[in-house]
Amino acid sequence: MNYILNAYAIQDIGLRTNQEDCFFPAFIDPCHYDATEREWSFYDGTPHTDDRLFIVCDGMGGHDRGEIASQTVTQVMSSYLLKSASIEGSFPDEMVGKAVEKARQALVEQDDPEEVMKMGTTMALLKFHAEGATVAHIGDSRVYHFRPAQKSEAARMLFRTEDHTMVNDLVHSGRITHAQAMRSKDRHILSRAMMSHQGIKPKADIHHITDIKPGDVFFLCTDGILETLDDERLCSLLTDPNYGDVQRIQMILHECLDNRDNHTALFIRVQDILNTTDRRTSDASLAPGTVLRSENYTYHIERVLGSGAFGITYLVNTNVAMQGQLGTIHTGVKVALKEFFMHKEMKRQGVDLIPVSDEESVKRYADKFRREASKLAMLSHPNIVKVLEVFEANNTIYYSMEYLPDGTLNDYVNKRGGLPEKEAIACIRQIASALLYLHTNKLLHLDIKPANIMRIESTNTLKIIDFGLAKRYEKNGDPESNSSLGSGTTGYAPLEQADAYGEHEFSPEMDVYALGATYYKLLTAHVPNNAIDVLNKGLYTLPLVKKDVSQKSIDAIKAAMEPTKAKRLKTVDAFLDMLPRVDDETIFKETETRDFRLWMVIVIGVAVISTIFGILFFNDHERKETETPVAATSGNRLDIEMVEVKGGTFVMGCDTKTDPEAEEDESPRHVVEVSSFKMSRHEVTQALWKAVMEDADMTGSKNARYPIANVSWDEVQTFIKRLNERTGHHYRLPTEAEWEYAARGGNGKETGHKYSGGDDIEKVGWCGQNSGNHLHPVGTLLPNALGIYDMSGNVWEYCSDWYGEYKAGKQVNPTGEKEGNYHVIRGGSWASEPHTCRVSYRQDESILSGGVDVGVRLVE
């Protein structure tokens, strides 16, 4: 079985001081979010390895040795199994036993003989392979298997490992009940674990799962998750059809927000199952040493490179003729050979392949395979894999092509954790060159993504592969056949591609969308959110912001990944025109100059400090104990310009009598008295956010003056808490009443204006009408009467109130509802219609995740 998986990981330190959990695979470039007094992390994207192996460990031991144990076991077991276990072959129990023993030996080597409490860890493992999935575990970290609701069945848990704990053993022996075990103070005492020294060598419980269907969810977790969530709740959250994978994981994190223990989990959803066959894999492929002959070449099979539902790719040796100064020279080369083989519908007799069921289906797909090969054979471009020839043998079809052994661009990006912007642009220009060539020849690729792009390391050359979905169009614009275009890959395919049956218009926009998504992945090592989420919520840009990607690149990606086809960039050239030029001094030169300046400052600083240290060393006895303490902040990175807003009374809200655009939730109009406060002149910028959250100096960054956006409610609370700790101030979010009072100009100065600062939105606020569909630096349009900028447009701004209905009658310093599901956001954004930027317009925002155009303004 060949499993296509969507995998995600979460990890939270809880209320502990150190993280003792560890997991494999190490997902690249985590996005860090903060909650209460500690950090939690959410990692997204598929594993960067093809082994389909997942491990979770929860360490334990004296003097913070638990993390050493969990890391050791995770690393040793994954390293051994990567070398020993094949992807498509079987996975014997003996291999698990050997991996456990090697990990135990490594723990012994790591052990500190002075420690009384010996370090140890739990272990939970999940491995997908040709015969299904294998689960192995030791301790109380768990593996679950859930199945979402079917037509006639509710969502249910199919499998769960049994904990190796003292109370669980008592339950099985009938000495206590399950309810008593849940309440027992001894419920976390393990009866079996992986430890450095114990009388009995640890042995894993091993289970085999063969009933696996597309849509099934596997969940590996440490026991910290189980402080809050029981089996029923886990099943409900992880199979909820109303949410996507990322949202389900975010809900898990929020449910566990106040947990005491470290908690880590891996979420794996089976997206699809290919190559399902009752035959052994060894029977499916041609044996090493097999010889195939075409009219032009003789191929000697060396080994299998990969296998899918419709074919097997081999590494083969052949001889080719090369012209040189000495004439024609015949030399041996390695090439890749792709064989058409429908595993479900064909079988091999000797070396020949014959249909076993639906011959018409085989013929139809064979024709499609032949067309793919023919398309490739006709293409000649330095950034497209070169096909040597197409031929028929063994009652099937083959084509040979250049062998590219250095791996995919996806592997390279994941290993690097994302590429610098200049390098990513260079990659995109190579890919774009190939796409322009294809489009000129009326051909769409329809599956552009880093995994379908090979990289030649010695020359940094990229080559597009896998033309299985490619489609040629005739001169009149009609497709060559009336078949579907194919749905493409989630995250890279636009909405219309999944529903493209009968598409009769040559549409480079589909490849443009994938090219923009590929650029996103190159910069962040993250797969973009799927097209439906982009349509409903907008593109998730926080990973780009965190990587300090230029606004030009962010704008280009947004324009390429516009969910509505009619609004999307029409051509690859249009996308390239939006990208920054690598010689643009305003974007790239400043970074290099800043780095050089920083280096010089460090060198000079070290010399000065050394001199001062020498002076102070010899005069230490003359120093007094009353020295002034060093400030908590450096420079002016945390300086916030605040505007005094004197208290007063105003009429809050709006109705259709005073403005025809008023919404129902803006009424009733009511009198509100507000006390004096201070409000930040500008929305919180990316420079201020990074200075607080990451202690990073962005004052010279290309994005420093842009407002921070795409931040969740919890992130904002942590930002404010850290800011106050470092500055000694008492910053907070405005109440909804304070926000509207200030937006109107305070003390009745602008009560008649529609927007904050005037009635012409294009003069006072960046919205969908004038923004060009992107953010703008703060303070670039006119302020309101108080001198406060961007209260209409640019980004929505959080208020402290829960969203709820207005109450009639006069109120003094109202704070909104006492509880709710959504917080209020105000002011509209760069993506909003002008009427949503009005001073009285109200909007609610989920507490789980901030929108791509939601930011922050502070009051004190």
The amino acid at residue 670 is H
Contact (CB, 8 A) for 813 and 675: yes
The lowest-confidence range among 37-51, 215-229, 628-642 is 37-51
Give the mean model confidence (pLDDT) for residues 163-174.
77
Give the model's pLDDT for residue 346. 86
Buried b (16+ CB within 10 A) or exposed e, 354-388: ebeeeeeebeebbeebebbbebbbebebebbbbbb
Contact present, 61 and 120 (Cβ < 8 Å): yes
Answer with the residue of higher pLDDT: 648 or 45. Answer: 648
Residue 811 has pLDDT above 90, yes or no: yes
CA atoms within 13 A on the CB side of 621: 1
Q: Which two tokens stand for residue 380?
A: 């000649």
Looking at residue 270, its pLDDT comes to 87
Which of 822, 769, 817, 772 minimizes the C-alpha distance to 792? 769
Mean pLDDT of 705-726: 89
DSSP letter at 758 equals: B
CA 350 → CA 280, 311, 357, 402, 688, distances in Å? 15, 17, 19, 27, 69
* CA 485-490-493 angle, 5° bins: 45
pLDDT above 50: residue 475: no
Lowest-confidence pick of 175-179, 451-455, 688-692: 175-179
Determine the pLDDT at residue 748.
Answer: 59
DSSP annotation of 313: E
Place of tokens 């698990």: 96
SS (H, E, C) 374-401: HHHHHCCCCCECCEEEEEEECCEEEEEE
CA–CA separation, 467 and 469 (whole Å): 6
pLDDT of res. 39: 40
Buried b vs exposed e over 545-556: b needs ≥16 C-beta within 10 Å? bbbbbbbbbbbb
pLDDT above 70 as % of the chain: 80
Contacts of 680 (CB under 8 A, 6+ apart): 640, 641, 642, 643, 788, 857, 858, 859
Determine the 3-state secondary structure of 431 from DSSP. Answer: helix
Q: List phi, psi (to 5°) of 789.
A: -100, 150
Query: 429 and 518 in contact (C-beta within 8 Å)?
Result: no
Distance CA 783, CA 790 (A): 7
So what's the pLDDT on residue 442?
82
What pLDDT does residue 615 have? 38
pTM of structure? 0.48
Smallest CA-to-CA distance from 369 within 357, 380, 353 is with: 353
- Provide the pLDDT confidence category of residue 366 given band limits of 50, 70 and 90: confident
What's phi and psi for 125, nearest 5 deg? -130, 140
Query: Residue 168's closest CA among 146, 144, 142?
Result: 142
Closest CA to 100 of 67, 119, 61, 72: 72
Q: Tell me the range of 23-27, 186-190, 409-413 where mean pLDDT is highest.
A: 409-413
Least confident window among 333-337, 667-671, 838-842 = 333-337
- Checking if the pLDDT of 25 tops 80, the result is yes
Q: Which residue has the higher pLDDT, 155 or 7?
A: 155
∠ CA 570-575-578, nearest 5°, is 130
Describe the crossing of helices 231-238 and 245-255 by its angle, rounded to 10 degrees.
Answer: 150
CB 645 within 8 A of CB 742: yes
| 541-558 pLDDT per residue, tens | 878 887 889 888 998 999
pLDDT at 852: 65
More confidently predicted of 636 and 240: 240
Place of tokens 């519908």: 345
Could you tell me the strand order of the sheet in which 811-812 lies?
A: 648-652, 670-674, 811-812
Q: Write down the pLDDT at residue 390.
A: 93
Among 461-470, 502-511, 592-601, 850-859, the least confident range: 592-601
Give the strand pairing for 811-812 and 670-674. Answer: parallel
pLDDT band at 435 (very low <50, low <70, confident <90, very high): very high
Where is pLDDT greater, at 116 or 181? Answer: 181
Lowest-pLDDT choice from 107-116, 491-500, 834-843: 107-116
**Which tops the pLDDT comparison, 687 or 130?**
687
Q: Of 59-63, 76-80, 329-333, where does mean pLDDT reach its minimum? A: 59-63
Nearest to 806 by CA among 647, 664, 662, 648: 664
If pLDDT is split at 50, 70 and 90, which confidence band does 309 have?
A: low
The DSSP string of 7-74 is: EEEEEE-TTSSS--EEEES--SSPEEEEETTEEEEEE-S--SSSS-EEEEEEEE-TTTTHHHHHHHHH
Query: How far apart, in whole angstroms, are the C-alpha atoms of residue 361 and residue 357?
Result: 9
Cα separation of 470 and 263, whole Å? 44
What is the tens place of the pLDDT at every residue in 492-507? 989 887 654 444 455 8
Is the confidence at residue 676, as pLDDT, over 70? yes
Query: What pLDDT sits at residue 3?
Result: 76
Tokens of 564: 């509505």
Can you give the pLDDT at residue 487? 61
Residue predicted with more confidence, 608 or 157: 157
- pLDDT tier, 595 (very low <50, low <70, confident <90, very high otherwise): very low
Residue bearing the bigger pLDDT, 828 or 19: 828
Q: How far apart are CA 258 and CA 16, in angstroms?
A: 11
Gyration radius of the chain over CA positions? 31
Contact 708, 686 (CB under 8 A): yes
pLDDT band for 30, please (50, 70, 90 cuts).
very low
Residue 811 β-bridge partners: 672
Kindly tell me if the per-residue pLDDT of 187 is higher than 90.
Answer: no
List, as one string, the DSSP characters of 249-306.
HHHHHHHTTT-SS-EEEEEEEEEEEE---SS-HHHHSPPTT-EEE-SS-EEEEEEEEE
Separation of alpha carbons 431 and 518, rounded Å? 10
- Rounded CA-CA distance 173/185 in Å is 19
pLDDT for the residue numbered 773:
72
Amino acid 647 reads G
Cβ contact 810:669 at 8 Å: no
Whether cis (ω within 30° of 0) applies to the bond prior to 92 is no
pLDDT band at 116 (very low <50, low <70, confident <90, very high): very low
CA 98, 103, 105 angle in degrees (round to 5)? 95
Of 156, 159, 139, 160, residue with least CA distance to 147: 156
d(CA 412, CA 414): 6
The tokens for 782 are: 């006119």
Three-class SS of residue 371? helix
In this predicted structure, what is the pLDDT of residue 540? Answer: 80
Question: What are φ and ψ of residue 376, in 5° steps?
Answer: -60, -40
Higher-pLDDT residue of 749, 449: 449
* pLDDT value of residue 851: 60
Q: What is the pLDDT of residue 597?
A: 44
Q: Higher-confidence residue: 694 or 661?
A: 661
Q: How confident is the model at residue 602 (pLDDT cuts 50, 70, 90)?
A: very low
Using 50, 70 and 90 to split pLDDT, how confident is the model at 642? very high
Contact (Cβ atoms closer than 8 angstroms) between residue 511 and residue 572? yes
- 3-state helix, strand, coil split of the chain in percent (to 5) is 30, 25, 45
Average pLDDT, the chain: 81
- Check: CB of residue 90 under 8 Å from CB of residue 129: yes
370-396 pLDDT tens trace: 877 887 788 889 999 998 899 999 999
How far apart CA 405 and CA 457 sit, in angstroms, is 9
Q: What pLDDT sits at residue 586?
A: 64
Least confident of 115-119, 219-223, 570-574, 789-793: 115-119
842 near 803, Cβ under 8 Å?
Answer: yes
State in Å, rounded, how far the first CA of the chain is from the last one: 60
State the pLDDT at residue 140: 92
Buried b (16+ CB within 10 A) or exposed e, 215-247: bbbbbbbbbbbbebbeeeebbebbbeeeebbbb
Mean pLDDT to the nearest integer, 806-815: 93
Count of helix runs (H) and strand runs (E) in the chain: 21, 35
Tokens 């990074």, residue located: 690
Q: What is d(CA 721, CA 713) in angstroms, rounded to the nearest whole number?
A: 13
pLDDT digits (tens, 9 = 90+) for 758-795: 999 999 999 988 987 778 999 999 999 999 999 999 99
Contact 394, 292 (CB under 8 A): yes
